[in-house]
């Protein structure tokens, strides 16, 4: 399979490029300028290591042991011990796409030339990425203090031939994976272990893939809402530009414009021009306001991530121009933690309003359609429990929206006395994204049944295309069947990107 080349320099990596590498769809290389920066940074570290002046992490211990001097003969062992001792992660390994993203992001930070790593060590990381050697990194164990210490230590284990890795998707001992890929482990020199474990790359890896998924789900939410609106014979008027311009939030305006694009060409809207209903329920009428607010939250999170993935998050940082190695706090994950909490809350709003639209569809007192959209209701229960499942997922999402970013458990004998819980925020955000996707799949499935009852009158181009795609995989429910299979089929249409492609093509 052909894979295009992606050049990284530590400054210009885009979120979409991270996704490309996470899917193993690109070859990653350093720019010549980055190579020069890495070499210069390493030269300074070597000079400091050869001297007698204490420098944190180079010839001292770590954390609260920073005042302990280390003999020059023990500097290699110091770096190896750091990796071994910090590899204390537990739980399920990060999925391969997230682990690839983690490896890429660490390479990108090292490429900036503020870490003091040797070029050959960084090149091993790039070779691992390009030859599909992906470290096994447990998800849990980071409090986002000196960044993601435990996850990054598990990543670094593979560099020294320890731990485990996936090679071409198969899990095995790291040394064996490296050998199969034609690679050899390295012996870490002064500061290199510290250069590999300080930083926010684990929370950013999970967060970046979550962010891109959340943005996609915002579009899916508009599609689902447009299908429900048409199925319930709702009004298009709340989405006109004049309403949005007098409350000009960018997310609201974008959502309303998208809804009008989706609904264009509707014959259904003509069937109720002179109906007696004055206003639709909020879950229909206020889609621009609610979906739009979620979009604003995602925009905030994107801005934070775009800065963070191209930031130097090591400690200490190596400044060649000033001939200084300085301790600071760029590893603290607070910006990412807050951004991921916002993303989780925004996603939950999308699922919450979606569940209310499903209730509008299945409740005959609200829809003027058969109870639970069942044919021969009573004998058949139709989509009664689909709404219950959606409600259950929304309820759990609300629990997961408790912010991790306001929490802190001091660690490292009080030296790390305020921590970000950034990885926690990213992991629970990922779970909320799963739930939101399923809630939207349920709405799309139920709305498709409502649109069946409106045939042969056609919905707008967007909901019509979505409806036709769903029906190519999931038949109309004529009598009760296992609904979970139908939900899974629509989830696959969302996850594969096929739903988005089909609807975009129909509304272009």
Catalytic residue annotation: 56
> Nearest-5° angle of CA 202, CA 55, CA 70?
95
**Residues contacting residue 73 through CB under 8 Å, at least 6 positions apart:** none
Query: How many of the other CB atoms lie within 10 Å of CB of 296?
Result: 16
Q: With beta carbons less than 8 A apart as the criterion, state whether 157 and 174 touch.
A: yes
Chain position carrying tokens 């005042």:
67
Edge-to-edge strands, sheet with 133-135: 133-135, 164-167, 170-173
Rounded CA-CA distance 491/430 in Å is 15
CA 324, CA 62: separation in Å to the nearest integer? 19
Longest dimension (CA), the chain: 88
- Quote the radius of gyration of the chain (alpha carbons, Å): 26
Tell me the two tokens of residue 482: 């296992």
Query: What is the CA angle 106-109-115, rounded to 5?
Result: 105
Provide the CA 55 distance to its chain's centre, in angstroms.
36
**Positive/negative CA dihedral, 109, 112, 116, 119:** positive
Contact 349, 408 (CB under 8 A): no
> What is the pairing mode between strands 133-135 and 138-140?
unpaired
Q: Supply 406's token pair.
A: 């306001």
Q: DSSP letters of 284-326?
A: HHTHHHHHHHHHHHHHHHHHHHHHHTTS---SSEEETTTTEEE
The owner of tokens 């990596």 is: 13
Q: Which helix (H) or strand (E) holds 462?
A: helix 461-473
d(Cα 354, Cα 153) in Å, to the nearest integer? Answer: 41
The token duo for 420 is 């970000």
Report angle CA 397, 398, 400 to the nearest 5 degrees: 65
C-alpha dist (Å) from residue 464 to 220, 226, 262, 424, 470: 14, 10, 9, 40, 10
């Amino acid at each position: 399979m052909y894979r295009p080349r992606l050049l990284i320099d530590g400054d210009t990596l885009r979120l979409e490029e991270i996704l490309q590498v996470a899917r193993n769809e690109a070859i990653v290389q350093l720019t010549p300028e980055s190579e020069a920066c890495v070499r210069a940074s390493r030269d300074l570290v070597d000079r400091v290591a050869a001297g007698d002046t204490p420098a944190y992490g180079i010839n001292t211990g770590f954390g609260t042991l920073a005042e302990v001097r280390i003999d020059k003969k023990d500097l290699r062992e110091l770096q190896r011990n750091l990796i071994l001792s910090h590899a204390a992660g537990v739980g399920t390994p990060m999925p391969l796409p997230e682990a690839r993203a983690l490896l890429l992001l660490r390479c990108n930070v090292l490429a900036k030339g503020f870490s003091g790593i040797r070029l050959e060590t960084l090149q091993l990381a790039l070779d691992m990425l390009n030859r599909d050697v992906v470290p096994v990194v447990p998800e849990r164990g980071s409090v986002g203090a000196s960044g993601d210490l435990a996850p990054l230590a598990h990543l670094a284990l593979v560099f020294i031939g320890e731990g485990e890795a996936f090679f071409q998707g198969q899990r095995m001992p790291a040394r064996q994976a490296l050998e199969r890929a034609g690679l050899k482990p390295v012996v870490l020199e002064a500061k290199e272990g510290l250069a590999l474990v300080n930083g926010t790359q684990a929370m950013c890896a999970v967060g970046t893939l979550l962010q891109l998924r959340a943005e996609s789900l915002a579009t899916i939410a508009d599609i689902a809402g447009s299908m429900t609106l048409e199925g319930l014979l709702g009004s298009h008027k709340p989405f006109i530009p004049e309403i949005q311009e007098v409350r000009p939030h960018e997310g609201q305006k974008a959502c309303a414009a998208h809804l009008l694009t989706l609904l264009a060409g509707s014959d259904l809207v003509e069937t109720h021009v002179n109906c007696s209903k004055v206003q639709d329920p909020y879950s229909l009428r206020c889609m621009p306001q609610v979906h739009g607010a979620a979009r604003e939250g995602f925009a905030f999170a994107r801005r934070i991530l775009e800065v963070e993935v191209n930031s130097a998050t090591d400690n200490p940082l190596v400044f060649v121009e000033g001939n200084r190695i300085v301790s600071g706090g760029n590893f603290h994950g607070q910006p990412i933690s807050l951004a991921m909490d916002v993303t989780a809350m925004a996603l939950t709003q999308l699922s919450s309003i979606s569940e209310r639209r499903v209730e509008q569809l299945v409740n005959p007192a609200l829809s003027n359609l058969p109870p639970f959209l069942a044919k021969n209701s009573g004998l058949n229960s139709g989509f009664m429990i689909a709404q219950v499942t959606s409600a259950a997922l929304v309820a759990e999402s609300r629990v997961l929206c408790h912010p991790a970013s306001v929490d802190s458990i001091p660690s490292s004998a009080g030296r790390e006395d305020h921590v970000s819980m950034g990885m926690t925020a990213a992991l629970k955000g990922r779970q909320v994204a799963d739930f939101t996707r399923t809630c939207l799949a349920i709405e799309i499935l139920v709305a498709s049944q409502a649109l069946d009852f409106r045939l042969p009158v056609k919905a707008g181009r967007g909901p019509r295309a979505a409806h036709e795609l769903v029906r190519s995989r999931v038949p109309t429910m004529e009598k009760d069947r296992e609904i979970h299979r139908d939900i899974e089929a629509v989830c696959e249409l969302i996850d594969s990107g096929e739903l988005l492609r089909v609807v975009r093509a129909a509304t272009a």
